Structure 1
Amino acid sequence: MAHFSLTQLIAQEVNTTGGWLPFDRFMHLALYAPGLGYYAHDSAKFGVLPQSGSDFVTAPELSPLFGRALAVQVAQSLWSTGTDTVWEFGAGSGALAEQLINALDAQGTALSRYTIVDVSGALRARQQQRLAHFGDRVQWADRLPDALRGVVVGNEVLDAMPVKLLARSKGEWFERGVKTSERFGLLAQSAQAHEAINHEAKNRVEAVFEWSDRPTPLRPPIDVPGAHDVVTEIHPQQTAFISTLAQALGRGGTGAAFLIDYGFPEAEYWLPERTQGTLVCHQAHRMDDNPLVSVGDKDITAHVDFTGVALAAQNAGLDVLGYTSQGRFLINCGMAQMMEAADLPMRANAMKLLAEHEMGELFKVIGLATPGHAPALGFAAGDRTHRL
Structure 2
Amino acid sequence: MKVELDLPELTDDERAHSARLAHLLVEKIKINGSIPFSEYFAECLYHPELGYYTGALPKFGRSGDFVTAPMISQYFSFCLANQIAEILALCKSPSIMEVGAGTGVMATDILTQLKKINALPEHYYIIEISPVLRERQRESIAKAHPDLIDRVMWLNEPPKEAWQGCIIGNEIVDALPVERFTIQDGKAYYADVGYDESTAQFITVAHRQDDQLIQFMAQLAKENIILPDGYVSEFCPIVKTWLADLTKTLAKGAVLMVDYGYSRRQYYMQERVEGTLIAHFKHRVHNSWELFQGLQDLTANVDFTLLAEAGLEADLDFLGYTSQAYFLYGNGLEGMLTEAKAQISDEMAWYKIAQAIQILVLPAEMGERFKVLALGRNIEIEPQGFALYDMSQQL
The alignment's TM-score, normalised by the length of structure 2, stands at: 0.87
Aligned residues: 358
Aligned to 1:26: 40
**Please, which of 204, 207, 211 is the counterpart of residue 200 of structure 2?**
207
Q: Distance in 2 between matches of 1:11 and 1:329?
A: 44
Contact 1:339 1:350 in 2 (8 A): no
In the other structure, the counterpart of 1:373 is 380
After superposition, the CA RMSD in angstroms is 1.5
CA distance in 2, matches of 1:241, 1:34: 19
The answer on 1:345 being equivalent to 2:343 is no
Determine the structure 1 residue equivalent to 2:344.
Answer: none
**Hey, what's the Cα distance between the residues in 2 that align with 1:333 and 1:226?**
39
What secondary structure, in the 3-state scheme, does the structure 2 residue paired with 1:330 have? helix
Contact 1:83 1:149 (8 Å CA) reproduced? yes
1:40-119 equivalent positions in 2, closer than 5 A: 40-47=54-61, 52-119=62-129
Aligned pairs for 1:109-258 (under 5 A) are 109-132=119-142, 133=146, 134-146=148-160, 147-183=162-198, 207-217=200-210, 218=213, 219-220=216-217, 221-223=219-221, 224-249=225-250, 253-258=251-256
CA displacement at 1:24 relative to structure 2: 0.2
Query: Which one is further off, 253-262 or 128-137?
Result: 128-137
Bigger mean CA offset, 336-345 vs 52-61: 336-345
- Asked if the contact 1:171–1:229 (Cα under 8 Å) also holds between the matched residues in 2, the reply is no
**Equivalent pair of 2:91/2:252 in contact (CA under 8 Å):** yes
Residue 226 of structure 1 deviates from its aligned partner by 4.8
Q: What residue identity is the alignment partner of 2:393?
A: H
1:306 match: 304
Equivalent-residue separation in structure 2 for 1:332 and 1:41 (angstroms): 37
Distance 1:226 1:131 in 2: 47
Q: Which runs of 5+ in 1 are unaligned?
A: 184-205
TM-score by length of 1: 0.89
Determine if contact 1:282/1:298 at 8 Å carries over to the other structure.
Answer: yes
Provide, for residues 278-322 of structure 1, a one-character-per-residue CA deviation record: whole Å limited to 9, x for no partner. Answer: 100111212111111111111000011111111111122211110
Alignment check: 8 A CA contact 1:81 1:373 kept = no
Once residues 227 and 328 of structure 2 are traced to their aligned partners in structure 1, the CA distance between those partners, rounded to angstroms, is 38
Match of 1:24, SS state, is helix
Q: Is the 8 A contact 1:159 1:303 kept in 2?
A: yes
- Provide the residue aligned with 2:274 in structure 1: 276
After superposition, what is the alpha-carbon deviation per residue over 1:341-373, rounded to whole angstroms, capped at 9, x for unaligned?
242211210121011110000000001111332
> In 1, are the aligned partners of 2:254 and 2:379 still within 8 Å (CA)?
no
Residues 293 and 226 of structure 1, relative CA distance in 2, 3 Å threshold? closer
Report the Cα distance in structure 1 between the residues aligned to 2:380 and 2:366, rounded to whole angstroms.
28
1:327 to 311, 325, 328: 325
Q: State the Cα distance separating 1:36 from its structure 2 match.
A: 0.6
Q: Is the 8 A contact 1:98 1:131 kept in 2?
A: yes
Q: Is the 8 A contact 1:320 1:368 kept in 2?
A: yes
Distance, in Å, in 2 between the alignment partners of 1:229 and 1:96 is 41
1:40 counterpart SS class: coil
